[in-house]
Amino acid sequence: MIVVMNQGATKEDIERVVDKLTQLGFRVHLSEGVERTIIGVIGDERQLAGASLEVLPGVEKVMPILQPYKLASKGFKEEPTVVDVGGLKIGGGHFQVMAGPCAVESREQILEVAEKVKAAGATILRGGAYKPRTSPYSFQGLEEEGLKILAEARERTGLKIVTEVVDPRTVELVCRYADILQIGARNMQNFFLLKEVAKVDKPVILKRGLSATYEEWLMAAEYIMSGGNYNVILCERGIRTFETHTRNTLDLTAVPVIHSLSHLPVIVDPSHGTGKWQLVHPMAVAAVAAGADGLLIEVHPNPAEAMSDGPQSLTPENFARLMEDVRNIAQVMGRKIGTLQ
């Protein structure tokens, strides 16, 4: 349930309600909006028997949240969440483009891509240091050495870094280097990993699982938020359907649907969503038109020689052309495209 405080509620009024709920054994989460503070209440509501919260000073009303995802729902927070990544904002009309190779392969590769995607307008560099692959014989990533290369690229270009974390045991290590942690589609319901990233003070991109419903996706976000990390960014990256022409079926309906259900930002990955570089450009533009809060795009200096996901990777030149159209559509849609200071 949620406790809605009235506009005149003081800090003392809010603390009084929080203390009361805590004494009753509830977990409490504050959402301070422009006009009102809302207190999210998690726990067994039978503990409220005989305790009338409405009579406490500053309380406007007490309401149930019917969705199983409490903190991620619009019932908990009406205004869009804006996630701040070192001054770069995602959500609430703020739009960022994240670009880079699927995997960190070498220092030269990453530094070249970083310079070129920055020149084209990206603000965040993506690159996998740990690569969960379908085949155990495929390239698995450079691990910490890859993280160090990404950190060097950040120092040289100013781009923020997003990279995937695949194991609860490496969360602390990845946090030393990354600005944003990514939970991949295969790990969307790795609840031990979700609980671990819930403890850190880093934004988390949560990719939709291969066959996940919207509710399952939001429930995975709830794991992270209920653990204390509210900086969650949802990423639509395509789902598995009967269609085999594309790698996945990119579900752009997810963008407006999730925006109607949740306050969390939604970005789109058209690279994994299609699996074909020729389709990345049109689907990226379509994602912006659908209201996405950002894009996650694979770019490689030589896709034909990429160690992973070459067929869906754009060359830097193609990425630059894509960014021209993205800027034009974003302007029409009223999105503020992020720039590096």
Answer yes or no: do 92 and 204 share one domain.
yes
- Assess if residue 74 is contained within a domain: no
Instruction: Work out the pLDDT band at 50, boundaries 50, 70, 90.
Output: low
Domains held by the chain: number: 2
Amino acid at 246: T
Judged against a pLDDT cut of 70, whether residue 17 lies above it is answered with yes
Domain range enclosing 178: 83-337
Domain end among 11, 29, 63 = 63
97 assigned to some structural domain: yes
| Mean pLDDT of all residues belonging to the chain | 93
Q: Are residues 208 and 239 in the same domain?
A: yes
**pLDDT at position 31:** 83
> Is the pLDDT score of 341 beyond 80?
no
Domain boundary (33, 63, 93) is at 63
Q: Is the pLDDT of residue 312 over 80?
A: yes
Quick: pLDDT tens for 55-77.
899 999 888 888 899 999 998 89
Q: Give pLDDT tens digits for 67-118.
A: 899 999 998 898 999 999 999 999 999 999 999 999 999 999 999 999 999 9
Q: Would 189 be classed as within a structural domain?
A: yes
224 and 320 part of one domain: yes
Residue 200's H or E segment, with its range, is: none
* 95 and 205 belong to one structural domain: yes
* Helix residue spans in the chain (DSSP H): 11-23, 107-120, 144-157, 171-177, 191-197, 214-226, 254-261, 270-274, 277-289, 316-332
Q: What is the pLDDT of residue 275?
A: 97
Cα dihedral across residues 95, 121, 330, 332: positive or negative = positive
Position 75 in a domain = no
What's the CATH number where 192 sits?
Answer: 3.20.20.70
Answer yes or no: do 192 and 263 share one domain: yes
- The residue among 20, 77, 30, 9 whose CA lies nearest residue 53 is 20
Say which CATH number the domain at 17 has.
3.30.70.1140
- Environment class of residue 15 by beta-carbon count within 10 Å: exposed (0-12), middle (13-18) or buried (19+)? exposed
Domain assignment present for 69 = no
Q: Quick one: 181 and 115 in the same domain?
A: yes
Check whether residue 183 and residue 264 sit in a common domain: yes
The pLDDT confidence band at residue 36, using thresholds 50, 70 and 90, is confident
Token output for 114 = 């970083």
Residue 218 lies in a domain: yes
The answer to whether residue 48 scores a pLDDT higher than 90 is no
pTM of the model: 0.91
Residues 6 or more apart from 250 whose CB is under 8 A from it? 236, 237, 238, 268, 270, 273, 274, 283
Q: Are residues 330 and 217 part of one domain?
A: yes
- Please say whether the beta carbons of 7 and 25 come within 8 A: no
- Which of 14, 30, 63 is the endpoint of a domain? 63
Residue with tokens 């020689």: 305
Domain match, 155 and 278 both: yes
User: What is the average per-residue pLDDT within 271-278?
Assistant: 98
Q: Is residue 155 part of a domain?
A: yes
In a shared domain, residues 157 and 305: yes
The verdict on 37 and 105 lying in the same domain is no
Give the three-class secondary structure for 84: strand
Give domain status of residue 73, yes or no. Answer: no
35 and 162 housed in the same domain: no
Rg of the chain on CA atoms, in Å: 21
* Separate counts of helices (H) and strands (E) for the chain: 10, 15
pLDDT score recorded for residue 49? 66
